[in-house]
Structures are given as C-alpha cells and as structure tokens.
Amino acid sequence: FRMAAVGRHRLFQSCMGMKTTGMSSQALDDEQKKKENIRSLTMSGHVGFESLPDQLVNRSIQQGFCFNILCVGETGIGKSTLVDTLFNTNFEDQESSHFYPQVRLKAQTYELQESNVRLKLTIVNTVGFGDQINKEESYQPIVDYIDAQFEAYLQEELKIKRSLYSYHDSRIHVCLYFISPTGHSLKTLDLLTMKNLDSKVNIIPVIAKADAVSKTELQKFKIKIMSELVSNGVQIYQFPTDDDTVARINAAMNGQLPFAVVGSMDEVKVGNKMVKARQYPWGIVQVENENHCDFVKLREMLICTNMEDLREQTHTRHYELYRRCKLEEMGFTDMGSDDKPISLQETYEAKRHEFHGERQRKEEEMKQMFVQRVKEKEAILKEAERELQAKFEHLKRVHQEERMKLEEKRRCLDEEIVAFSKRKATSEIFQSQSFLPACSNLRKDKDRKSFFEEKRMNSCQYMSQSG
C-alpha cells in the first residue's frame, strides 16, 4: 500500500505543473486563500495524510449507516413488493386493507449487512393513501411525519448535553412516489402531494406496475408527467452532476425520470437461469431486464451511486430549511433592524426582556382587575346594607304608627268606659226610683254592659297582642 502510495505521489508531483484541478470551485478557493493569506505548499516527500478519507470511512463503518426511505402511493400499487425487490429481501409485511379512514404511516427498521457495511434501513409506508372518498387531508400526515423527524433531530441538536454522533438519524432521506400507470397524466392528488413534499424531502417519482403500460405509451406518459411536474413547479430530486466520475451517467438518468418499474420476488425460469419476473400467459416480464423496465436503473441510482448524496442533501438542504423556518417562527433572526448582524445571544436577551416586560404588564393588569373587583363588591355590599337599614327604619315607623293608633283607641275606649260607668251609676239611681219599668231597662243595661265588657275585653286582647 505504501509503495503504491509513494508511486502515486511521485506521479502526482511530476504532473503538478500541468495538472489543473478542474473543479469549478478552484477560483473561489484561490480567492479565499488570498483572503486568509494561506499559501499552497508543495511537500518534499510523502507525508501520509492521504489515508485521511480511509480513516474517516473506517469510522463510519464502525458506526454503521442509516438510510430511511418513504414510500408514498395508493394501496395495492406495489410499494412493498418494490422495496423487497430493491433490497432483495422478503421484508415481512401483510397486504393492507382499503378501508382505513385516514392516511397513516407505518415505519419498520431493518439491519442489513453486506461485506463490512452495516446498514440500518428504515422503510416508511403510507397506509390508506388515496383510499378515502375525501382526499383533501391525505398529504398532511405525511408532511407531519417528515416534520416530526426533523423536529426530533433539531431538539437533539439544541440540547445542552447532546450526543449527536450516536443519534439514530430517522430523517427521511428519499421519498419514492408511486404513480399509477394510467398512461395519461398525473392525478390531482399526486400533484398536490408532491407539491407539499418537494421542499421537505428528496422525491424520486416512479411509475409503478409499469408492465401495464406499453412501450410507446410509456414514452409519452413520461414526457407528460415531467412536463406537468415542471409546469406545477414541483422540484423533484436531481441526480448530482458535479462529480466528474458520475456526472455523465447521472445526467443521462435524469432524462429517464420517472423510472418505470416492475417489482417481483417470484422467480421464473428464463433460458437456463432463474430470474425475478412476472409470468403472464403472453410472456414473461423480467424485472432486471433493462428492455422490460427501469428497475435496474432505479437500483443503480438509488443505492449504488447516490445514496450518500441523498443523505447529504437531506441534512444540508432540507433539514437546514426546516431548522431555519422553525427558528424564525419562534422569532429568532440573524439580522437586526438596522441590518447589522445580531447574534443569537442578543436575540435571546431581547426576547427575554420582552417576555419579562410582558409578564410584568400582565401582572399589573391582574392586580388592577383584582382591585377593581374588590371595589365593586364593596359597593354592592354597601348598597345592600343601606337598603336593609332603610327597610328597618320603615318597619319601625310603621310599628310606631300602629302603636299610636292603638293607644288612641284604647284611650277612647277607656273614656267610653268611664262615661258608661257614669251613666250606669246615674241610671241605677233612676232605677231605684222607678223599679218596675226599669226591669226591662236593666236587662237592656245588662246586655249593654256585657256588650261593652266584651268590647273591652277584645280591645284589651288586641292591645296586648300588638303591645
């Protein structure tokens, strides 16, 4: 290894003069170098840091890789079968029913190993997508799921004591969108869903069950789909063309999107080999035959060429966008009102001040309200007290009056009694003078007396009652 490295290095040195590192960022690098006063150095011998990428890669191998695929498509369109075929494994899954009331997402994680690479593959399937009668809210659960993964990562990143290097990355790296092989165009649901997902995840559209579309129809179908995507402003994932080694093939593949795929884990004998295929009375559709479908292309692009780029794009583009939006939503900015950059610290302080002021204001408000209420209550109570007092006075007066009246009556009665007694005395004198004719008078007098006695008794009773 060392000899080859030295040899390589010498070769490199000898053509250093002629070699132009044809990277487009070279000019920028030079500018930056000048700014930072950094000079390029030539070394007089082999140092050995070219093993650096190996060191880095070894580290990653030790930790293992994560890859998360989201499959969006109608029930029965062949998502699970395709994923099985892609990874050449029978992931355990049952057929889904068509009668779910809402769209749900089902995630499953698998550990795969190939030579010394360990991959933690998570496959997320949509369940019940496109089955409802009213599909307005179909895309929302998907968007929510993707956001939740970003949120979880953001939370971890913002923790004080965090462990990012051992964090299981659950963010979705690629979304395979399954298009129904109608042969005509995209469905409204497809456009709506993809439009809502394109800024959050890398979308690779695929035409599912492509053996339902003939070759000529397929070409027209693909063109129609792509033009619809473009005219609706949907940004699907473009295979990167900045690396020389893969630029050409990626560019070619970009022109072949969306891939028309057929999935199958059943094996059929063709010639003298067993191949994965679907057997029909009129022929056999071979999954890995490039003339029959684009499955090989999909596998090549998704796994063998661009898996790392998908992961990187998710982290540096989609996640950063989410993070920025989320933080801005919470009111943090980088630039102050006078266009000077303010640090997060200043924003925090400002926010804290604001919150503090807000809290104080609220406190004041509540205090005021409390005082107000107390006053009101007091007033009400006072009013009630006054009323009671008035009533009491009134009653007292009424009583007083009644009492006086009764006194009056009593006096009258007393007077009458006195007058009667007098008259009785005088009449008794008359009686003794004229006895006989006075008998009937006596009875009358007796009646009269008892009548008056009764009346007196009554008035006495009345007076004692009202006394």
Partner 1 sequence: MSKGFPETRTDAAMSELVPEPRPKPAVPMKPVSINSNLLGYIGIDTIIEQMRKKTMKTGFDFNIMVVGQSGLGKSTLVNTLFKSQVSRKASSWNREEKIPKTVEIKAIGHVIEEGGVKMKLTVIDTPGFGDQINNENCWEPIEKYINEQYEKFLKEEVNIARKKRIPDTRVHCCLYFISPTGHSLRPLDLEFMKHLSKVVNIIPVIAKADTMTLEEKSEFKQRVRKELEVNGIEFYPQKEFDEDLEDKTENDKIRQESMPFAVVGSDKEYQVNGKRVLGRKTPWGIIEVENLNHCEFALLRDFVIRTHLQDLKEVTHNIHYETYRAKRLNDNGGLPPGEGLLGTVLPPVPATPCPTAE
Q: Which residues, numbered 185-224, are part of the site for partner 1 (CB under 8 A)?
A: none
Between 119 and 417, CB nearer to partner 1: 119
Phi, psi dihedral angles at 71 (to 5 degrees)? -110, 120
Half-sphere exposure of 169 (CA within 13 A, CB side): 20
39 binds partner 1 (CB under 8 A): yes
* Tokens (6 digits) for 29: 């690098």
Tokens of 340: 């000077």
220 to 259: interface string for partner 1, x by CB under 8 A: -----------------------x-x--------------
**Paired strand residues for 275:** 268
H helices present in 300-340, as ranges: 307-313, 320-329
Q: Is 97 in the site for partner 1 (CB under 8 A)?
A: no
As given in the structure block, the two tokens for residue 272 are: 């003298």
Q: Specify the stretch interacting with partner 1 by CB under 8 A; choose among 148-156, 359-367, 374-382, 438-446.
A: 148-156
In the list 76, 132, 152, 212, the residue contacting partner 1 (rule: CB under 8 A) is: 152
Is the Cβ–Cβ distance between 75 and 98 less than 8 Å?
yes
* The residue type at 99: F
Q: Which of 119, 189, 270, 406 binds partner 1 (CB under 8 A)?
A: 119
Size of the site for partner 1 (CB under 8 A): 106
Applying CB under 8 A, does 373 fall inside the site for partner 1? no
DSSP β-bridge partners for residue 260: 207
Binding piece for partner 1, criterion CB under 8 A, among 86-94, 128-136, 188-196, 229-237: 86-94
> In sequence order, what are the residues at sequence separation of 6 or more whose Cβ sits closer than 8 angstroms to the Cβ of residue 105?
70, 124, 125, 126, 127, 141, 142, 145
Distance CA(71)–CA(105), nearest Å, equals 10
Of 66 and 417, which has the nearer Cβ to partner 1? 66
- Of 105-113, 220-228, 229-237, 415-423: span binding partner 1 (CB under 8 A): 105-113
Those residues whose C-beta lies under 8 Å from the C-beta of residue 198, and which sit 6 or more positions away, are 234, 235, 236
Contact between 170 and partner 1 by CB under 8 A: the answer reads: yes
Piece in contact with partner 1 (CB under 8 A), picked from 73-81, 225-233, 300-308, 367-375: 300-308
- In the complex, the smallest distance separating the C-beta of residue 351 from partner 1, rounded to whole angstroms, is 8
Tell me whether residue 125 or residue 180 sits nearer to partner 1 (CB atom): 125
* H/E segment holding residue 3: helix 2-14
Residue 14 as a binder of partner 1 (CB under 8 A): the answer is: no
Q: Which of residues 351-370 bind partner 1 (CB under 8 A)?
A: 352
* Range in contact with partner 1 (rule: CB under 8 A) among 6-14, 173-181, 183-191, 422-430: 6-14
Quick check: 182 binds partner 1 (CB under 8 A)? no
Nearest C-alpha neighbor of 347 from the set 362, 328, 360, 361: 328
CA-angle at 61, arms to 310 and 64, nearest 5°? 65
Are the C-beta atoms of residues 225 and 258 closer than 8 Å to each other? yes
User: In a 10 Å sphere around its CB, with 0-12 CB exposed, 13-18 middle and 19+ buried, how is residue 241 labelled?
Assistant: middle
Cβ 229 to partner 1 shortest distance, Å: 26
- CB-CB neighbours of 343 under 10 Å: 10
Site membership for partner 1, residue 3 (CB under 8 A): no
From 14, 28, 31, 88, residue interacting with partner 1 (rule: CB under 8 A): 88
Contact 300, 333 (CB under 8 A): no
Of 220, 248, 324, 446, the one binding partner 1 by CB under 8 A: 324
Stretch in the footprint of partner 1 (CB under 8 A) among 83-91, 173-181, 435-443, 448-456:
83-91
Positions in 384-443 near partner 1 (CB under 8 A)? none
Determine contact, residues 238/245, Cβ cutoff 8 Å.
no
| Residue 22: CB minimum distance to partner 1, A | 12
Token pair 């109570």: residue: 381
Nearer to partner 1 among residue 152 and residue 442 (C-beta): 152
Any contact of residue 117 with partner 1 (CB under 8 A)?
Answer: yes
CB of 151 to partner 1, least distance (A): 7
Q: In this complex, which beta carbon is closest to partner 1, that of residue 50 or of residue 365?
A: 50
The correct pick among 14, 28, 34, 162 for binding partner 1 (CB under 8 A) is 162
